[in-house]
Amino acid sequence: MQEKLLRYYSQHCSLFLENFNQALSGFDNEAVHDMRVAVKRLRAINLLLERLFPGKFAAVENEMKIRELFRISGRIRDTQVQQQLLSGYISQTGATFSGYQLYLKKVEQKSIKKFNKCLAETDAEEALRNMQKIASGLILASPDEAINLQIILFVSELMDSSRSMCQNQTHDENLHEIRRKLKQCHYLLSLFDKDDQNLLLLNLTVKKLDKVSELLGDWHDQVVAIEMLKKFINQAGEKDISGFHRYLRLMNNFSGKRHIQHRKIMNYFEEKLDF
Q: Is the dihedral of CA 99, 255, 223, 213 positive or negative?
A: negative
Q: Residue 121 in 3-state DSSP?
A: coil
Cβ burial 82-97 (10 Å sphere, 16+ → b, else e) = bbebbeebeeeeeeeb
Q: pLDDT (tens digit, 0 to 9) for every residue of the chain, 275 residues total?
A: 899 999 999 999 999 999 999 888 889 989 999 999 999 999 999 999 999 998 776 556 677 888 888 999 999 999 999 999 999 999 999 999 999 999 999 999 999 999 999 888 888 889 899 899 999 999 999 999 999 999 999 999 999 999 888 876 555 678 889 999 999 999 999 888 776 665 656 777 888 899 999 999 999 999 999 999 999 999 887 677 778 889 999 999 999 999 999 999 999 998 988 88
How many Cα atoms sit within 13 Å of 161 on the Cβ side?
16
Query: At residue 27, what is the residue type?
Result: F
Phi and psi at 139, nearest 5°, equal -65, -45
Q: Which residues contact 256 (CB under 8 A, 6 or more apart)?
A: none
Domain annotation for the chain: domains and CATH numbers = 1-142 (1.20.120), 145-275 (no CATH)
Most distant CA pair in the chain, distance: 65
What pLDDT was estimated at residue 198? 54
C-alpha distances (whole Å) from 9 to each of 42, 117, 123, 132 are 6, 27, 19, 7
